[in-house]
Every structure is written in structure tokens, then in C-alpha cells.
Amino acid sequence: MSIASIAEFQVQSQSLAAQVADHLVRFIRQGASDDPQQLPAERQLAEQMGVSRPVVREAIKRLEMQGLLEVRHGKSVKVVDQLHRPVSASLSLLIPDVTERLRQLQETRIVIEPESARLAAERGSAQSIQQLRSLQDSLVAAESIEEAIEIDLQFHHALAEASGNLMFRLFLDSLADISRESRQRTIGRVGKQAAIDHHEQIVRALERRRPQAAAKAMRHHIKMASEDLGL
């Protein structure tokens, strides 16, 4: 991470730790970095920003509590990739009951993913739809439940990518852990054939550029998964 850019942030009077934290957030979001995954050493930050090391330490602690930074062993500080940051841990605290957590996941998916499929049929590139066909072929060829689950997750991620809507991809990325848990309870219990059949209907609708059929196939897929989950 480039230190020179940090020095451009001039820290003023009160609440130094809060100001340093704000400056670091702006610095991270501006992407002014040689290594976007790593903050400079505490000593370097203090020198470049003209504050003491305890002030920098407090600022880093604040950002760690906000989930923006991760302090690792050896005191290196990693910038948390917000694009792939799962919220599953927070959900486990907010909704401790697994069944209720999965029910709410499915309720949310059935609102978002059919629209994702519809948009993918409308504006997905030929290459993105071919990728979905390849993932479908890989699911058919999967030799283990674990492999099938990972391919299933990749399929839904690729579909969100094909929709062209970043929010859909962020949604799926943030729920990666609980989504995997739901697949373990569906594919892991009843096998992969249902997922294969449902995905085939979705891919065919995409290949034929039939948005409503794609949305309908996705809606059916999620409803059937909810039934397999006993919801």
C-alpha cells in the first residue's frame, strides 16, 4: 500500500483516532493502494499521518470492530474484502434457530433470484450463458455430494453475474455460508438430480432468451428446495 498517499490526509485537532479512522476509510475506498489487501505498518502510518502509534492503534481497532479491517497474528492488518464479506456470522447471532434462518433465506431468494434469472435471459452475454451450460454439465458429471454442492453454488453465482446487476452478486456472496448450509440439507439429503432437472429448465430458458420462463423455472427451483428443507 502506498504510504505517500496517506500523508496527504491532514489530521487536525480533536478526536484524533476517529479522524485517522475516517481518513483510512476514505483511503481504502479510493483504492489508493499498491496492495489493496494490506495496510502499512502501524509505525509507518503514525509517521506519515503525524500522530502517535496509540492513536493509529485505536483507529485500527475501531475499523476492525466495524468489519473493515482484520488484525492478524504478527500485527499485520488486512483490508477486509467487502465484496465477498459474508454476513452469515451476523445472521447466526440475529437468527440463532437454523430452521428459521433457512426459511428467511428462502423467502429472500424467491424474491431476488427469479428476477436475476429474468434479467440474465434478457441481457446476459452469449459467453455467460455458455458458462452456465458448462456448469450444468459439470453438475451432471459431479461424482460426490460435496462437488455437486460447490457447483450448484457456482451456478447461482454465475447466473447473478449474467444478470448484470452487481447487487444480486453481492447478495449471494454475502450469504455464501448459509447458502452452502441449505445445499447440504437439500442436495446432501435427496441427491443432486432435482437440482440438475431444475437447472436444466433454467439454462434452456436462458439459451432461448425467454425471460419469463427463466424466472418461472427459478421460482419453481427455490420452492422445491424449500419443500426439501421442510419449510
Q: What pLDDT, in 10s, does the model give residues 216-231?
A: 999 999 999 999 998 8
Same domain, 188 and 126: yes
Segment 171-195 mean pLDDT: 85
Q: What pLDDT, in 10s, does the model give residues 62-120?
A: 887 766 778 876 567 877 765 555 565 567 656 778 899 899 999 999 999 999 999 99
Alpha-helical (H) ranges within 144-175 are 145-163, 166-174
Task: Quote the CA–CA distance of 166 and 164 in Å, as a whole number.
Answer: 6
Same domain, 74 and 98: no
Segment 197-221 mean pLDDT: 97
Please report the pLDDT score of residue 171 as a whole number: 84
Which of 63, 80, 97 corresponds to the end of one domain? 80
Same domain, 207 and 101: yes
Same domain, 52 and 96: no
Segment 150-159 mean pLDDT: 93
Domain that holds residue 109: 88-228
Please report the pLDDT score of residue 13 as a whole number: 42
Same domain, 111 and 73: no
Task: Quote the CA–CA distance of 72 and 111 in Å, as a whole number.
Answer: 38
Between 14 and 173, where is the model more confident?
173
DSSP string, 82-129: GGG---HHHHHHH---HHHHHHHHHHHHHHHHHHHHHHHHHH--HHHH
Segment 190-199 mean pLDDT: 90
- The CATH number covering residue 147 comes to 1.20.120.530
214 in Cβ contact with 162 (< 8 Å): no
Task: Quote the CA–CA distance of 220 and 162 in Å, as a whole number.
Answer: 20
Please report the pLDDT score of residue 114 as a whole number: 97
Same domain, 36 and 59: yes
Neighbours of 184 (CB within 10 A): 13
C-alpha cell at 15: 478526536
Predicted confidence (pLDDT) at residue 59 exceeds the cutoff of 90: no
Helix (H) or strand (E) holding 9: none
What total of structural domains would you count in the chain?
A: 2
DSSP string, 188-230: HHH-SHHHHHHHHHHHHHHHTT-HHHHHHHHHHHHHHHHHHTT
Same domain, 142 and 203: yes
Segment 129-146 mean pLDDT: 94
Between 8 and 59, where is the model more confident?
59
Between 156 and 67, where is the model more confident?
156
Which of 80, 113, 147 corresponds to the end of one domain? 80
Query: Confidence class of residue 25 from pLDDT cuts 50, 70 and 90?
Result: confident
Query: Confidence class of residue 191 from pLDDT cuts 50, 70 and 90?
Result: confident
At residue 220, what is the residue type? H
- The CATH number covering residue 74 comes to 1.10.10.10
Segment 171-194 mean pLDDT: 84
Which of 80, 107, 131 corresponds to the end of one domain? 80
